[in-house]
Amino acid sequence: NIPKVQTAAVIDHSGDSIRIDHEFPVKPANELLPGECLVKLECSGACHTDLHAALGDWPVSAKTPLVGGHEGVGIIVATGQNTFNSPVKTGDRVGIKWLADSCLNCEHCKKGREQNCLKAKLSGFTVDGTFQEYVVSYVNHVTPIPEGIASDEAASVLCAGVTVYRAIKYSQTNPCDWIVIPGGGGGLGHLAIQYARVRGLRVIAVDTGSEKKELCLELGAEKWIDFKECQDIVAEIRTITDGGAHSAVVTSASGSGYRQAVDYLRPGGTLMAVGLPGKSTLEASIFFTVFKSISILGSYVGNRQDATEAIEIAARGDVKVHFTTKPLKELGNVYEGMKSGKIAGRIVLNMSQ
């Protein structure tokens, strides 16, 4: 009883607004290729990356027409014929992340950097994503969702959670170290605060507005800095940390969040670049980067193992997505809220409304 058509949120050309299509085709189960599976989605988080993809403001462009979305959770309703050794089966509840598929055999995949695979398929970017009722995905890369976490609670772990979990994992920090999270009140940032606390780190959240302030402090940030009010972020952080933070995980969607990072890190500190403004450059003093032995690392989503670890931590209740649920047809308004920086935490879209 898989329908032939469904409701999907479509972008026809880059820069267009969202069009809700109630006649969007569902790939027939008997046409699924080996390794593909069809997932009936319950919900999907809306990530700022989806907005970048819709606006076309990155140096790489998405397919069009595009169904965006890469934080989906649902049930597998079919798998392609001749799908051998599948780790999942029909009836399983799974998550769909940004990295929809990778070859698993190239140097990058074998080194655990599946996200850098040259044959990677990206959900809601190079293949249609989770802003629809039925998505085609790939058995090797869907993330099994453990019991004990509701689908809408799990959804945003699949991108926001996995991404910041990995960034913190590679941030070269130890318990009791100070970590700064610019963008702390956003989708990625509010989860970064919590994964940092799981690692025993002391968190300084940087963002703006009273709603985000409250959220960050409630989630375990020890200090809050409003980037629109603070006159000297560098001095403030150096004072709080007695000489500079050990790491910064920058999750802001604009270049401004990166600006002072090298200056407020202490010697030996690590800047994890996560937020993806399309056109900004990362400006840092070469002299002080060398003189202070600073590491600057780009961190791009996560591999299958990162996804499993991030979701397990959430399923145990140590990290919770702060989200508001809306119907899929509200996606256009969600993008407006995101543009104006109004969303504290995440919006999760419900597919059955």
Q: Which residues contribute to the site for Zn ion (CB under 5 A)?
A: 47, 49, 159
Residue nearest ligand 8ID by beta-carbon distance: 186
- Nearest distance from residue 49's CB to ligand 8ID, in Å? 4
| Closer residue to Zn ion in complex, CB, 49/79 | 49
Of the ranges 17-25, 83-91, 127-135, 204-212, which one interacts with ligand 8ID (CB under 6 A)? 204-212
Under 8 Å between Cβ of 125 and 62 = yes
- Nearest distance from residue 208's CB to ligand 8ID, in Å? 5
- Nearest distance from residue 274's CB to Zn ion, in Å? 10
Number of residues this chain uses to bind ligand 8ID (CB under 6 A)? 34
The beta-strand segments (E) located in the chain are 5-11, 19-25, 36-46, 66-67, 72-79, 93-96, 99-101, 121-122, 134-138, 143-144, 178-182, 202-207, 223-226, 245-250, 265-273, 295-298, 323-327, 346-350
Residue nearest Zn ion by beta-carbon distance: 47
| Closer residue to Zn ion in complex, CB, 44/247 | 44
Binding to ligand 8ID by residue 49, rule CB under 6 A?
yes
Binding to ligand 8ID by residue 341, rule CB under 6 A?
yes
| Closer residue to ligand 8ID in complex, CB, 75/300 | 300
Q: Helix 160-169 vs helix 187-198: angle between axes, to the nearest 10 degrees?
A: 40
The torsion region of residue 209 among left (phi > 0), alpha (psi -120 to 50) and beta comes to left
| Closer residue to ligand 8ID in complex, CB, 74/182 | 182
Could you say which residues in the range 246-275 bind ligand 8ID, by CB under 6 A? 251-254, 256-257, 274-275
Q: How far apart are CA 177 and CA 209, in angstroms?
A: 26
Of the ranges 24-32, 121-129, 239-247, 336-344, which one interacts with ligand 8ID (CB under 6 A)? 336-344
C-alpha distance from residue 348 to each of 3, 47, 139, 179 (Å): 24, 9, 24, 27
Which option in Zn ion, ligand 8ID, none does residue 186 bind, with CB closer than 5 to 8 A by kind? ligand 8ID
Residues in the chain: 353
- Which 3 state secondary structure label does DSSP give 309? helix
Q: How far apart are CA 136 and CA 126, in angstroms?
A: 12
Number of other residues whose CB lies within 10 A of the CB of residue 323: 22
* Tokens (6 digits) for 266: 């202490």
What residues are paired with 67 via a beta bridge?
A: 10
Binding to ligand 8ID by residue 52, rule CB under 6 A?
yes
Q: How far apart are CA 201 and CA 192, in angstroms?
A: 11
The one among 72, 74, 129, 187 contacting ligand 8ID by CB under 6 A? 187
Binding to ligand 8ID by residue 86, rule CB under 6 A?
no
Pairing of strands 72-79, 93-96: antiparallel
Binding to ligand 8ID by residue 72, rule CB under 6 A?
no
Residues forming the site for ligand 8ID (CB under 6 A): 47-49, 52, 159-160, 163, 182-183, 185-189, 206-208, 212, 227, 251-254, 256-257, 274-276, 299-301, 338, 341, 343
